Structure formats: structure tokens, C-alpha cells
Structure 1
Amino acid sequence: MGWALTRFSLTKAVPLTISRGTTADVVRLELRVERDGLVGRGEAGGFETGHRAFALEAVEQELLALLPQLEALDPNHPQRFEPLLNALSPPARCAIDLALWDWYGQRLGHPLWRLWGLDPAEGVATSITLGLASEDAVLDRLERWWTQLPATRVKLKLGSPDGLDHDLSLLKAVAQAITDRSQRQGVAVELQVDANGGWTLDQTRRMLEALAVHQVVLLEQPLAPDLDPTQDTAGFAALHPHCPMALVADESCWDLEDLLRLAPVVDGVNLKLLKTGGLSQALLMAHVAQKKGLDLMVGCYSDSSLLNGAAAQMLPLIRWPDLDSHLNLVDDPFVGLKLKDDRLRPSAMAGLGIRQAGGTAAL
């Protein structure tokens, strides 16, 4: 068995600005495990959430230091990897977890959704993302999305450093554009809002009426996440009884413990594989969320088709898919994640079903 780690770059067609800054390009890590003629792939990279941060170089060093120990283990027995994985940061754990699942699914000859007993026909439309910008720029970005796919679910980033007046102007403009398109096309378009922790509790309460007036169906992470779990939960608890739309935790929810503490005070959580440490924990969290009556979002950072293709294996369990990052790349090195209208379809190929596109060189 051999393991290999390489860097690759991703460039956005349109840079994305949220409350914490702007991203135009990133460098990511591809981890490969090869045995018996099968290659399993995982993706990881650095990211930050305002209260936690993981540098690419640190994640890379974690993985490089662990490779000699991984080579001594048999991927036919994924359970034997667990003691090593438990000590890793979430993004480093994600890369190994995905590579193992990919290899294992290929070994058994089935996509993961089939191994898990899921029905891919249950998948729904993914949202597309509008970053923070001037009103004209945001509307131009929306029109560009609509030339690319139907985009019946629109996620608007708010929490602007320019204040609530700018947020309100963006909300009004996008809501009007959605209404106009719905009337022209005869197709409902859903509006979601994600503040990425850019509002205080008071600001959020002041925004609720406008969000409801403009028929926003989902409000994601309005409050800044807090490393103190008690304080973090208290913020959602103070907001939840007054929120007229679904309240979803993203940056505040990393693992099963977070999900359980937040379950009484939110309507849903966003499972991102770089936060959960891969599919194993995300799948566990998804099943527990169902038992707790929580709806699920599965989201992305600046991810390629490899990481989004892994997340897509869970789509039958997800109410609000948010896997559009690969659709905004000019140099995605992977293929295999299919899109029909604005519905992603997990690959029917074994494992993750994602393969390397030709002609992409590692950094």
C-alpha cells in the first residue's frame, strides 16, 4: 500500500466575499491511497471560521508526519485507522477519511450512498451563493448564475462590514430580482441568508422583520461563533424563539457534541466535511440530527469536485444542499459530480466516483 500527498490550486471565476473577507484562489491538498490497483482520494486544506483557524502548511505537516504509520495499515479494515485519526485536526482527518472511504467503496464495487442504503432520487436542488459586494455587482452575479443553471435556491451573504443599511439594500434588491424571475418563469425561487457570524444579537433581531417581509426561508449563523460552548448556545437560545424562519448553525457546529448542545435552540445544522473531519462523523451526525428533529445543510468552503463529490454522497439526507463552490472554479482538477438543472447527483461509480481530469499538474 502506498500513500501520497500533493498540492493543487483552485481559482474562482468570481471571487467570493463574506463578512470575514474575500477569497479568489486557494491551495488544497490531495491525499491518495493506492493498493490492489485501486486509488482512493481525499481532499483537505486550510480554512478559518472567525474563532478557529487551520493553516494549509500545518495540515500538510500533520499528514506528512503520519504517512509512515498509515502505510503499515490495511484499508480493508478502516476501523484500525481510528486511533490515529482521533489525534488529528478536522481537515487532516477529513483527507484520510475520504481516501479510505473512496478506496473501500471501490474495493466493494459500489458508491457510498448505496453502501449506506440511501436513495439518490431523494436529492434536492443546491443553493448558489451571492457574496457581499455593491448592489449592482450582486445582481450581476445573480444573473451570471442564472445563465449557468436554473438556481431555484439562492443564498445571499450578509453581515457586511458596511452595516445593516447595506445588508438591507442587498436583501431588498435580491428579493425583488427573485420575485421578477419567479413571475417571468413561473418557477418558485427560494431565498436564504447567511450572515457568517457578522451580526450581533441586537442587529439580528432588528433584521428579522425585513427577512420575513422578503420571504427568507432560512437564516444561517447570524451570530459570531464563541469558543465557550455555553455562551455560544446562549446566543442561539436568545434568538430562536423570535426567529420566523429556519435558524441554522454553521460555524458553531463542528462535531456531535456541538450538534447535541445546539439541537434545542436551532432548526438545523450545516455539515461541512472539513469541520466534521470527513464522512464518517458527518454521517453519524446526520443520523443523530434526524432523531433530534433537526434539518440538515451540507456546505462547502473553496472546495473542488472531489470534496463536494464526497459530500454529495449524503444528499439523500440533506434538506438544504449548498455545494456550489466547484461550479465557480476555472481550474477544477476533478470530474465526476453530475449536475441536472440545479440538482447535484452523487456519482453512480464505485467509491466517491470522482476522478482526476487530464492535464493538471501538482504544485
Structure 2
Amino acid sequence: MIFHVEAYQQALPLKSVFRIARGAKTQADVVVVTLTADTDNAQLVGWAESVPYGRYNETVESVKQEINQFAQSLSAFDGDLAQLSDKIQALPGGSARNALDCAWWDLKAKSEQKSVADLLSLSTPSPCITAQTLSIDTPEAMAAAAKALGHPPLIKVKLDNQDIVPKMQAIHQASPESQFIVDANEGWSIHDLKACGDSLKALNVILIEQPLPADKDAELIDYSCPVPLCADESCHTRKELTYLKGRYDAVNIKLDKTGGLTEAHALAQEAQAMGFEIMLGCMVGSSLAMAPISLLSDCAKFVDLDGPLLIKTDRENGFDIEQGLMQPLNNALWGSPNSQIIL
């Protein structure tokens, strides 16, 4: 079987400036990959989207270069889909492998005339609650943004270590029936965490994501936080799970960290077996970037896949998200024999 790979850079403008503890941006810079198989009977094409992330020393250019080098290696490759998967899995984890792996799954669905959910023996996803995200701003601006969401069930709040409690008090007052996930993006100290834990619990905060830098996780040993803690930047693949035990209660699984759906699925299974709660997360991207990870929603306690709500224009056949309720993947987008590639 002959395979071809193409990588495309796309800039997706955001609805507004998106701020987290380590910076701000006005557009999502993504890489879209198409993976084509020339068979005796037809030409089949799978596709996927990844989001290069500077936190892991990735740029669009570096990810495209890695994908293009992989594409060049296929000139001497004459194998089947299973052998191609082995070749993809040999790449280092990250955005490049994510795009290739997820494009491979879309291609496999078309080759075998089965959905990816069926290929992985997953139940058909049900509608689920996804968090909707507030970026960092003043207490007043964040309260106004929370109110504008219309009191959704779950709000994710990006917070640095400035005015943690006053900001959450303002947000809680604006949306008192909502529950909250607070995401510090490694921006706090252990002192910050200890100082605000009880107050955050009283404000309907049900999870705190990555409060400390990834290299400071040892400070969480023997600390019993009033709010469960979730590892994000500290958890990429199954390799970190033993280290994270005793430090975190949950792990945030993101495709651009795991290097694709193959490892994400394995990570979810092993993390659950070890007693971790599962959170599904995303970088800021289109529905195409969310599609593969959404198939794992039935095993997750927390879902944070609102990336498409942050960009001005989503892809055709994207996710339907209303008042925090996320409908299952549209088979026309990705992961089925009928998915359509619309660049």
C-alpha cells in the first residue's frame, strides 16, 4: 500500500483575546494533516488537526517539519495500515504524532468501513457537559463574562496567582449555580494553594488543575487539598502515572500531549485502573481537534472540550454545544466511513 502525507498550517482567529497564566493570544495556529492511501480499488484519505504548543517547545514550523520528515520516510515504505501505525507510534509524543495518529484512525475507519468508536470497542458517546472557559481578566470583567455564558453547569476559570479568591468570588456571584474548575497553568506556589483551598471549595470549585509547576509536584506529597487536584502539564502519557500517584486525584488527557488517540485511549484505561479520575482537555482549536478525544467522554468525570466556542468560525459538521451540553461527534466530520475532508 502506498501512503502520502500532507501538512497544512491554518490560523483560526479567536472571538476575543484568550489569556492564561503564561500568556495571551488572538488566534489558534493549528496544523492539519491529510493521510492518503492508494489501494488497488480506491484512494482513501484520513485527516486530523493538532495544536503546536510553545510550553513544550513546539511551533507550527517545527511540527510541520517533523511531519514532512515522516512523509519523506514513506517513499521507501511498502506496508499495510498496521505497520504504518507502528511507524507513527515510533515518533516522539507531541503534536506531530497526534495529527498523524488521528489521521491514521480516520483513514482506518474508511478502510474498514467502521467507525473509530467501533474499532476501539467504545460505546457510542452520549451528550455530555463540557466546561466553558473564562480567560484571565479583572474580577469585574471575568464576572461579566461568566454572566454572559448564561449560567452553564460547569465553567473553567483560568487564574494566575493574582487575586485568586476575589476573582472567584466575583465569578461565583455572577453564576452562583455553576460549578467551577480552576486552571492555574503552573502559575501558583504551594503557599498560594494552601491559602485559597478552603475558600475555593466554598465557591463551588470542584477541581484545581495544575496549581504548581510540573517540577514542583513533590510539594503536593502529604498535602490534603480541600479541592481535588488534576495533573495537566505533569501528565503526558502512561509513563507518568506512577509518579503522579499521591500527588494528584485526576489526570487531564489531551491529544497533543499524548501524541494521539492511540496513547490517549491507553492512558485513560490505565489511569482509571490506578484510581485516577479522568478529565478530557484540549488546546484551543476547531471541532476537528476535539473529535478523536470526544470518543472517550463516557469514561471521563470532567470534560473540557470547548475549543470550538473560542474561535470565530468552526469547521463544517462541528460540535453542537448549547448551554454547556455537548452533543456527540458528527460522523461527517471525522472518524467514520462517511467523514468529509474540507480544508
1:328 aligns with 2:329: no
Distance 1:348 1:14, change over 3 A: closer
1:159 and 1:195 in contact (8 A); partners too: yes
What is the CA distance between 1:53 and its match in structure 2?
A: 2.0
Q: Identify the residue that residue 236 of structure 1 maps to in structure 2.
A: 220
Distance 1:15 1:71, change over 3 A: farther
Identity, % of aligned positions: 27
Tell me which residue corresponds to 1:95. Answer: 99
Q: Structure 1, unaligned stretches of length 5 or more?
A: 183-188, 227-231
Partner of 1:311: 293
TM-score normalised to structure 1 length: 0.85
Give me the whole-angstrom Cα distance separating, in 1, the residues matched to 2:217 and 2:295. Answer: 30
1:264–1:222 Cα change, 3 Å: same
Aligned pairs for 1:280-295 within 5 A = 280-295=262-277
Please identify which structure carries the higher helix content.
1
Could you say what the CA RMSD is over the residues aligned between the two structures, in angstroms?
Answer: 2.2
CA pair 45-124 structure 1, distance change in 2 beyond 3 A: closer
Counterpart-to-counterpart distance in 2, 1:233 and 1:135: 28
TM-score (norm 2): 0.90
20-29 vs 37-46, which deviates more? 37-46
* Shift in Å, 1:74: 6.5
Q: For structure 2, list consecutive stretches of 5 or more residues without a partner in the other structure.
A: none
Correspondence 1:154 to 2:118? no
Q: Which residue of 1 aligns with 2:249?
A: 267
Superposition misfits of 4+ residues, deviation over 4 angstroms: 71-76
Over residues 7-31 of structure 1, what are the superposed CA-to-partner deviations in whole Å (9 max), with x where a residue is unaligned?
1111110221111011211321111
Match of 1:191 in 2: 180
Select which of 138, 142, 155 maps to 1:138: 142
Q: Please name the residue that 1:186 is paired with.
A: none
In 2, Cα distance between equivalents of 1:6 and 1:26: 14
1:225-252, CA deviations, whole angstroms, 9 ceiling, x for partnerless residues?
Answer: 12xxxxx44123243x2x1122100011
Q: Is this contact kept in 1: 2:109–2:335, CA < 8 A?
A: yes
2:6 aligned partner, one-letter code: A
Per-residue CA distance 1:181-240 (angstroms, 9 max, x = gap): x3xxxxxx21111111111011110111211221211111110112xxxxx44123243x
2:335 is matched with which residue? 352
Cross-structure match for 2:46 = 40
Partner of 2:166: 169
CA contact 2:93–2:258 (8 Å) conserved in 1: no
How many residues get paired? 334
Change in CA separation of 1:21 and 1:340 when aligned onto 2, cut-off 3 Å: closer
